[in-house]
Amino acid sequence: MKVYDFLDKQPAIGKLAIIEGTERVLAERALDAAIERLLPEDLRAMNLERFPAAQLDNAGRVQEAVQAMPFLAPGRVVAVTDAQDLKAAMRRELWEVAQNVPEGNTLVIVDLLSPRSQRPQPFGALAGRAALRIDTTANEDVRTRYINDLLHELGASAQPAVIAALARSDADLASVRNDLEKLALLKRKITYDDLQLESLTIEDPKAYRYAGALVEGRTSEAMAIARELFANDSRAAVPLISALATECGMVWELARKGGQIPARLRWRERALRPVAARLGEERARRAFERAVAAFDSIVTGKVEDGELAVDLLTAEYLELAQLTEKVNV
């Protein structure tokens, strides 16, 4: 079932629901809608448990949560998010749990893989008709619907050319959302010229996705994006390091007492302020300076191996983050 069919038609949700496909923002919307339908807000605190895949070392906690009795509610809801990141053994354990959900409770697995994926085999393919499957794969029509809905939520409008360009772009919908949120801060009616001047999506958002993922702690995602860019363009080091320098500069600014980032970039503040607090001003400054130095070494030709430069810079940033964690402990 396509994601908007699920949202519009509100089919019954049984013991197992699989949210699949590759669009994270649509998956988040589907998960929120499922929880809202299954549990009244005043009953969620005692009857809803979420398990990010990164925090699971075995499926026992999920099994306990799924098997628990609801508290003053018709059922319990257990959600496992980012299941696509689980190792094969953990996927097998989770699948065993998924086949034994008691009547009345619901297990929702967010498995951001294409339904056609071969390795790993998606949970949706394993479940078949035994689960409600919600596909977040976004074609142009789905993207257009999402963009129009988001503009309405933002209290903004856009020229048809803006909607068409974003609907036809290769950017993920998280990048589209970020661009529209940023542009909506500046003006209520977004023109195509605005999009070209301000949008990262219309250019190539992947370098900025790398930087955002790395700074926010999604290291595997960041490295996968970098590898993809280098596979298509040996000169990818310049946009990658430039984007990371921009992100680190914003983190440094937010780490300073009373620091403020420019209004046109304020859409990133919610994600970056916790990073700034964790790093602190000194380490944030060092991260920015290392990124700027790496950029200078690439554009001046001091370093010729761009991919190596990005790998080293990535490792340096991670070292700073790990040092911070040790200090905080």
Which of 125-139, 207-221, 232-246 reaches the highest mean pLDDT? 125-139
What's residue 326's pLDDT?
A: 41
User: Do the Cβ atoms of 247 and 265 come closer than 8 Å?
Assistant: no
- H helices within the chain, ranges in order? 3-9, 24-38, 44-47, 60-67, 88-98, 123-127, 140-154, 160-168, 173-186, 192-198, 206-215, 219-232, 237-255, 269-299, 306-328
What's residue 59's pLDDT?
A: 93
Q: Which residue has the tokens 């070494």?
A: 297
- Record the tokens describing residue 137, joined without a space: 């794969």
How would residue 204 be classed by pLDDT, with cut points 50, 70 and 90?
low
Name the residue ranges covered by the structural domains of the chain. 3-135, 140-198, 206-328
Residues 6+ apart with CB under 8 A from 28: none
7 φ, ψ (degrees, to nearest 5): -70, -40
How would residue 324 be classed by pLDDT, with cut points 50, 70 and 90?
very low
What's residue 296's pLDDT?
A: 81
Least reliable range by pLDDT among 110-119, 197-206, 228-237? 197-206
Instruction: Please report the DSSP string for 19-55 in residue order.
Output: EESS-HHHHHHHHHHHHHHHS-GGGHHHHEEEEEGGG
CATH class of 3-135: alpha beta
pTM of the predicted model as reported, rounded to 2 decimal places = 0.63
Mean pLDDT within 52-80: 93
Residue 205 pLDDT greater than 80, yes or no: no
Common-topology check for domains 3-135 and 206-328: no
User: Do the Cβ atoms of 112 and 85 come closer than 8 Å?
Assistant: no
**Widest CA span in the chain:** 67
User: CA–CA separation, 113 vs 19, rounded Å?
Assistant: 9
What CATH number does the domain located at 206-328 have? 1.20.272.10
What's the CA angle centered on 240, arms 282 and 313, to 5 degrees? 45
Mean pLDDT within 157-163: 92
What's residue 265's pLDDT?
A: 67
By percentage, how much of the chain surpasses pLDDT 90?
61
SS3 116: coil
Q: For 272-281, b where at least 16 C-beta lie within 10 A, e where not — what string?
A: bbebbebbeb
How would residue 119 be classed by pLDDT, with cut points 50, 70 and 90?
confident
